Chains A and B, each alone.
Chain A
Amino acid sequence: MQKSVFFGTIAAAGLLAGMASAATLEDVKARGTLNCGVATGVPGFAFTDASGEWDGFDVAVCRAVAAAVLGDGKKVNFVPTTGKTRFTALASGEVDMLARNTTWTYSRDVDLKFTFVGVNYYDGQGFMVRKDLGVTSAKELDGATVCIQTGTTTELNLADYFRINGMSYEPVPIETNAEAQQKYLANACDVYTTDASGLAATRATFETPADHIILPEIISKEPLGPLVRQGDDQWADIVRWTFNALVIAEELGVTSANVVEMSKAPTNNPEINRMLGTEGEYGAMMGLDKEWAVKAIAAGGNYGEIFERNIGEKTPIGLARGLNAQWTQGGLLYAPPFR
């Protein structure tokens, strides 16, 4: 009897789990806050300011989604996740979405049962060397000592790249980015390799950044993007199109400064009108109100504004748009049309 009650409870719990995962939108609305998984600290992408508020390029995606769904970009419950806990946090329902520089790969998408809703940063593995080495291309790195984080895809990419090009190297294994900075500055290795955005952020912290150069070769594809659980397509659509709205807004010149003005009356551009809710009932199609995109854009600006503010060329991190420019500017950002 006792046993059957116990198993009955477990079965009911399992059933509840199945049901609860289906309607993330209702859960978020009922809760009044969005649970968003972020990194515990990646320069420019997720960090805290002096008052303890989360900020950054990835964090801005969370705020935009919260603004679209709940009308307020501050209604986010940031759940910091490490590289080890991020996927279980999402799969178990502890967070509604992850915006945590996570590379979109086949096995994460298919095997781990997640849905990547887009790519908010196209990254790739690069090399940093001291300028006085006189190296201008990664092809000249034969025989170099390389600081490399163990157990990452960067380690495998590095081995592949050197093998393909018939070169040899001596790895200096390290655990964290902080350790890498120390080792590299102490001349324990000639080259430091990790994602190019990470290299730029690291270089920006050096006392004399100009003494170091990032080589032009990018040896891997690292598309970083927000992701949600598989099986709730409505929620995936909401996150996907909130992000797309930020990209389209930049393409069409809608900014946080003019979005409210533009949404008051229909403009000459029908795509802007559809997105900002002055034409048609597009918000209702995914269960949101008419103003969802207005609020999302107003929360932190369009994609370009978010980029410039957190990691752009005017910040200490100083990343150029590069691959992350709009398709009209020669980049890869290409949001599907809003109609």
Chain B
Amino acid sequence: MSDTQSNTIRFVAQTQIPPAPPPASETGPVKWMRENLFSSIPNAILSVISVAIIVYAVVSIAPWFIHSVWVADSLAQCREIDTGACFAVINERFNQFIFGFYPSDAYWRPILAFLLLIVAAAPVLASHLPRRLLAFTAAYPMLCYFLIFGGSIWGPLLVMASFPLAFYVFRFVNDHGGPLGGLLAAAVALIVWLMFIVDPLSGLIADLIPIGLPRVETRLVGGFLLTLIIGIVGIAGSFPIGILLALGRQSGLFIVKTICVGFIEFIRGVPLITLLFVASTLLNYFLPPGTNFDLLVRVLILVVLFASAYMAEVIRGGLAALPKGQYEAADALGLDYWMATRLIIMPQALKISIPGIVNTFIGLFKDTTLVSVIAMFDPLGVIAPIRADQNWNGIVWELYGFVALFFFICCFGMSRYSQYLERKLKTDHR
């Protein structure tokens, strides 16, 4: 400001008043506590009680951790060393928790499969990565199967080859006989290829060029490895099947609709544990004894079917939430059914259903522990023979707590990812 003004207008302050710090009650932790913990008398009372409970819990549990024992040969030895938790059992049986009874000289195989899983899942989970990585994702299931269960490499390779085979058969017949014939021909080709050709052919090639890893029986796979296999196969399989079922349920084609409704209602009407018992015991009666239809495969199929029925209903909720105008707009643009579904309906419906979908995933992941009742060694199943060992009999909290921690990390991670996805896809219609 100029000098003249300062003399003429006296009541205007010449200098700015230096900013004062906010009052103590309106800043920092004090403010936060006043607002969040002690905003009213009932709130203050609840806060005090909660804090007291937390302090009490920490004070009673902390010694258990502080006095924990990490290296010992038995529970008795643990008790001699200190009074707290006996985590030595986790230490000794760590590999069993992770891999079950997987042969220890082949631990690198599941580890490698897990690392590759991260690579395969990355382009699906994060959309800014190059799309070409998806090719690896498509090839991953067979690669993972080969790594974990071993055997000749040609079987998985030939199974993988069935996709291009079906595609080219479809294109060829499609050009000459229309899409329905193309679909049928592709399906027939797939079935013939997978059921009658892959086995003898892979055996033949394996005789000529034997490349492969030692076989690992599926019954040896256990621990968190088994949880991850069942959980990830269930999640990856139920999502596409669930979408198809949801679309089928809304379809105008009577037979398709009836089949989808019947399937969904049947599966939803039966507890998972019943299906697991069917997988583990009843199927044995139906199938001839010679057929070596692996228990893990049976369980995987039923888990996928079970989860996809729930997934279908979640996605149907998303479809129902879309305004009718969206469907009509797609029709007005001249899009056919599949294009409209792919470009307009599904992106919106799926976005709406994210919380429900992730909810189903988390539920499915935790339901994998049910396989311990049919004597598969998921982490909870591993605990039983460990506790039966004379050295560790009597340990409860440490084992179950460790498993709980693992599940918490996985489920919390899924939950956080879904929140990230919701924020990213938020296109406020509000």
Task: List the interface of chain A (C-beta within 8 A of B).
Answer: 12-14, 16-17, 20-21, 39-52, 54, 56, 77, 79-82, 84-85, 88-89, 92-94, 178, 181-182, 201, 204-207, 315-317
Contact = CB atoms under 8 A, between A and B. Distances in A.
Contacts of A315: 390
A47 B289 contact: no
Contact of B75 (A52, A201, A205): A205
Nearest to B391: A316
Contact of B281 (A12, A46, A85, A181): A85
A192 to B, nearest CB: 14
B161 to A, nearest CB: 28
Contact of B284 (A40, A88, A182): A88
Contacts of A40: 372, 375, 381, 384-385
B113 to A, nearest CB: 19
A17 B393 contact: no
Contacts of A207: 79
B366 interface: no
B110 to A, nearest CB: 14
Given A48-B389, A88-B282, 18 more contacts: A13-B286, A20-B289, A40-B372, A41-B385, A41-B386, A47-B386, A48-B386, A77-B219, A80-B375, A85-B375, A88-B284, A92-B285, A181-B394, A201-B393, A204-B394, A205-B393, A315-B390, A317-B390
B252 interface: no
Given A82-B375, A206-B394, A47 B285 contact: no
B7 interface: no
Contacts of A80: 375, 377, 381, 385
Q: How large is the interface on B (under 10, 10 to 19, 20 to 34, 35 or more residues)?
A: 35 or more
A49 B389 contact: yes
A315 B374 CA distance: 30
Interface in B179-230: 217, 219
B390 A44 contact: yes
What's the dominant secondary structure at chain B's contact region?
Answer: helix
Nearest to A205: B394
A93 B289 contact: yes
B29 interface: no
B411 to A, nearest CB: 24
A308 B201 CA distance: 54
15 contacts: A20-B289, A21-B289, A40-B385, A45-B388, A47-B389, A48-B388, A80-B385, A82-B373, A84-B373, A89-B281, A94-B284, A181-B394, A181-B396, A316-B76, A316-B393
B104 interface: yes
Contacts of B104: 51-52
A197 to B, nearest CB: 12
B268 interface: no
B56 interface: no
A96 to B, nearest CB: 11
B385 A46 contact: yes
B287 A13 contact: yes
A308 to B, nearest CB: 13
B288 A16 contact: yes
A21 B289 CA distance: 9
Nearest to B73: A50
Given A79-B219, A82-B373, A17 B385 contact: no
Contacts of B385: 40-41, 46-48, 54, 80
A78 to B, nearest CB: 8
B29 to A, nearest CB: 40
A89 B78 CA distance: 38
Contacts of B22: none
Contacts of B219: 77, 79
B172 interface: no
A81 B374 CA distance: 7
Interface in B381-404: 381, 383-391, 393-394, 396
B246 to A, nearest CB: 31
Contact of B388 (A47, A79, A81, A93): A47
A52 B95 CA distance: 9
B221 to A, nearest CB: 12
B290 A16 contact: yes
Interface in B279-298: 280-282, 284-290
Nearest to B386: A48
Contact of A52 (B96, B288, B394): B96
B96 A48 contact: yes
A91 to B, nearest CB: 8
Contacts of B282: 88
Residue of A88, A94, A178 most packed against chain B (CB within 10 A): A178
Given A21-B289, A52-B101, A92 B284 contact: yes
B327 interface: no
B390 A316 contact: yes
| Residue among A39, A52, A79, A81 with max Cβ neighbours from chain B (10 Å) | A52
Interface string B221-258: 00000000000000000000000000000000000000
B151 to A, nearest CB: 17
Nearest to B220: A52
A66 B341 CA distance: 59
A287 B290 CA distance: 23
B328 to A, nearest CB: 43
B277 interface: yes
A100 to B, nearest CB: 11
A13 B375 contact: no
B31 interface: no
Contacts of A181: 394, 396
B82 interface: no
B92 interface: yes
A16 B381 CA distance: 33
Contacts of A21: 289
B288 A84 contact: no
A185 B289 CA distance: 47
Nearest to B276: A85
B67 interface: no
B34 interface: no
The 9 closest A-B pairs by CB, nearest first: A205-B394, A41-B384, A92-B284, A41-B388, A47-B388, A13-B288, A88-B281, A41-B385, A48-B385
Given A48-B385, A92-B285, A207-B79, A84 B390 contact: no
Contacts of B393: 43, 201, 204-205, 316
A223 to B, nearest CB: 21
A206 B75 CA distance: 10
Contacts of A13: 286-288
A50 B390 contact: no
Given A52-B96, A92-B285, A85 B280 contact: yes
Contacts of B79: 207
Nearest to A16: B288
